[in-house]
Amino acid sequence: MKILSVLSLVLLISCSKGGSGGGGETPTPAPQISITDLSLFEGNGGTTTFPVEVKLSNKSSKEVKVQYSTIEGFAKAGEDYTAVTNQTLTFAPNETTKTINITIVADLIKEGDDDFTVQLSAPVNATISKADAKVIIRNDDTKISFTNTGYEAPTTYPGYTLDWADEFNNTSLDASIWSNQNGDGCPGNCGWGNNELQYYTNRPQNIFFQDGKLVIEANKESFSGKSYTSSKILTSGKKKIKYGRIDIRAKLPTGQGIWPAFWMMPQDDVYGGWPASGEIDIMEMVGHEPNRTHGTVHYGTGWNDRKNISKSTTTSTGTLHDKFYVYSLEWKENEIKWFLDGNLFATLTKADLGAYNYPFNEYFYLIFNLAVGGNWPGSPNAATYFPQWLIVDYVRVYKPN
């Protein structure tokens, strides 16, 4: 019995060492392939090489291959980078790290942090554990790109004399005309009464001057509890207007959730709080309708009895983002007219308000702002590009003779 037991033990050990195949070490598992996200600055001219790293989880005695391609995001192939389609990356035996070199087009133009994807597919002698790498081309430029193309308003009108103007040829706001209104409206009027998502600042990231233009920039960034920043300026207490003509030449932003406006509020609430003392909107555009401008008045007896009359017009071709347009208001006693590039598209008279008080024969002040989100435009979506720019060439205010 003792001899048999020893023999059985020897046989058991022999089987466990040899396995079913008989003699040899456990084979190395097939490696897993992963690709690493990358974020680098674009550069300022020519091209820049972005090295995207691809790794194997372990060495392999076999040659490993995998295909890779680029997929557009906000970065566009041919414009921001050189596209790659179904190229093969080969790992020699025992090699665990390789680099995919992507050519980035560098320039001096300010833009957002653009992104694209490098995607792996069709592995040979391996499996893929992470197939996509997000590649971010970080902006390191300061000058935005635009031309001066578009309509130019006349500099004189019969029956009117230029009262004041701002051609925005300086490097800072004219403090004799403008003030900033910063914040998010809280605590008294959070979201500025419209559930807007931006925080207004006077930082150079949100308001600056370039080539004789005022630029208001909306950014997607965390700031003071908000997810977006922008800027808002007004003439309250400095330049008040009652009757005349106002011309504003501007190139508008675009995109879901984007809401630029040139508008007017009463210098004195003669008839009570909003909207009883009125509001005049010279231009409003919601970014999902980039070819339409709205002219509107708000009135009523109070918040629970608020009224508005709104008219709009569209461009004949293209959008309000493509070039500069001139947004004009001609304002007389008991009458307001709206123009786009000198073409009348809406008229309001005192009679249009019916039995309601007509509050538009008082002094008002100007407001320029670029809002993000809100009840009317809705929130930005994944396709909304940031930054967005409201670019103003000039504002000219004429008084009646």
- Residue 259 has phi, psi (to 5 degrees) of -145, 85
Is 279 assigned a catalytic role?
yes
- Residue 333 has phi, psi (to 5 degrees) of -60, 125
Element (H, E) at 17: helix 2-18
HSE, CB side, 13 Å, CA atoms: give it for residue 202: 10
Interatomic CA distance for residues 182 and 59, integer angstroms: 58
- Exactly one of 279, 289, 330, 333 is catalytic; which is it? 279
Interatomic CA distance for residues 26 and 19, integer angstroms: 9
- Please name the residues in contact with 248: beta carbons below 8 A apart, sequence gap of 6 or more: 262, 282, 283, 326, 327, 328, 392, 394, 395, 396
Element (H, E) at 90: strand 87-91
Is 72 assigned a catalytic role?
no
Query: How buried is 120 (Cβ within 10 angstroms: 0-12 exposed, 13-18 middle, 19+ buried)?
Result: buried
Question: Other C-beta atoms within 10 Å of 152: how many?
Answer: 14
CB 257 within 8 A of CB 273: no
Interatomic CA distance for residues 392 and 231, integer angstroms: 13
Q: Peptide bond preceding 387: is omega within 30 degrees of 0, i.e. cis?
A: yes
**Whose CA is closest to 134, among 75, 63, 64, 62?**
75
- Exactly one of 42, 111, 284, 330 is catalytic; which is it? 284
- Please name the residues in contact with 260: beta carbons below 8 A apart, sequence gap of 6 or more: 216, 250, 252, 253, 283, 284, 285, 369, 370, 371, 390
Which of the residues are catalytic? 279, 284
